[in-house]
Amino acid sequence: MAQIAEDYVSPSVRWGLLKQDFPEAIVEFTHSQGVEIGIPEAFGGKEEYCVAQILLRPTDELPVLGYKPVSDARINKNDHASDAWNVLCTKALGRALKRAGYADTASEMKLVVTYKQRLAEHAALADGDYLHRVNETDNVVEPVIQKEEAPFVPVTETKEDVAEDIDDEWDTEEHQKEAHVLLKNSVAALPEDLREEARKIHETLNGRQWPINSVSQYNYMMNAVEALHEKWNEQDPEADF
């Protein structure tokens, strides 16, 4: 039985972090046979897959791939077939992000952030900036830390934590709209009982405000919806992103 990690970070949050590092990154979703993306026939190569292709830079020749079997798609009563496709796209994106180095747990992501900080410190040393700081601070060396432009919000935060965030605004209106489309489609893909559960979570969070102007509240809601998907799909050991 698959279980979501306590510090799970949703694909939408990880995509936002990737865009901070690679502002020109784009993602494209396609439908492909397994053999066309390098899957041997003996391991499902004849099956159809939803494929997420991430180009980190416009000059990159090869994309980062993530994929999910189309056979895993589920369509509930009164749902449109596209709802199942949207869920597959989200899962494929999550896998592509993982391959690009954006792990799906807060503990792993913190390791990446720490590594970036160390690189910034070494770069400052190479530029002689530390020597300048020593002269100014009476031999007290202050490390130069590369600041993250977007807040990192793990799934373990509470509503009270969300309310206390300071830097809590969307970077662009376009990013806000894209994120809300993803959230809306993710909720629509759930069965009716879990949709109702999502509505209750939204009501408790901010009185079902829409759009959600707080980034941290959006992250909290998106993580809750992802958890509901895991609850629905818990018998699938490959459902995690």
Residue 97 within any structural domain of the chain: yes
Which two three-digit tokens encode residue 4? Answer: 């979501």
Rg (CA), the chain: 20
Residue 41 within any structural domain of the chain: no
In this prediction, residue 125 carries a pLDDT of 65
- Domain of residue 89, residue span: 11-35+46-108+150-232
> What average pLDDT does the segment 79-96 reach?
88
Distances (CA, A) of 61 to 55, 92, 95, 113: 8, 20, 20, 27
Residue 124 within any structural domain of the chain: no
**SS3 state of residue 26:** strand
Residue 164: which residues within 8 A CB-CB, separation 6 or more?
none
pLDDT bracket for residue 122 (50, 70, 90): low
Q: Is the predicted pLDDT of residue 238 greater than 50, yes or no?
A: no
Each residue's pLDDT tens digit, 10-61: 888 888 888 988 999 999 999 999 999 999 999 999 999 999 999 999 899 8
Residue 206 within any structural domain of the chain: yes
Residue 122 within any structural domain of the chain: no
Residue 164 within any structural domain of the chain: yes
Each residue's pLDDT tens digit, 183-237: 887 788 778 888 888 888 898 888 888 888 888 888 888 888 878 777 776 544 4
DSSP string, 189-204: TS-HHHHHHHHHHHHH
Domain count, the chain: 1
Residue 140 within any structural domain of the chain: no
**SS3 state of residue 31:** strand
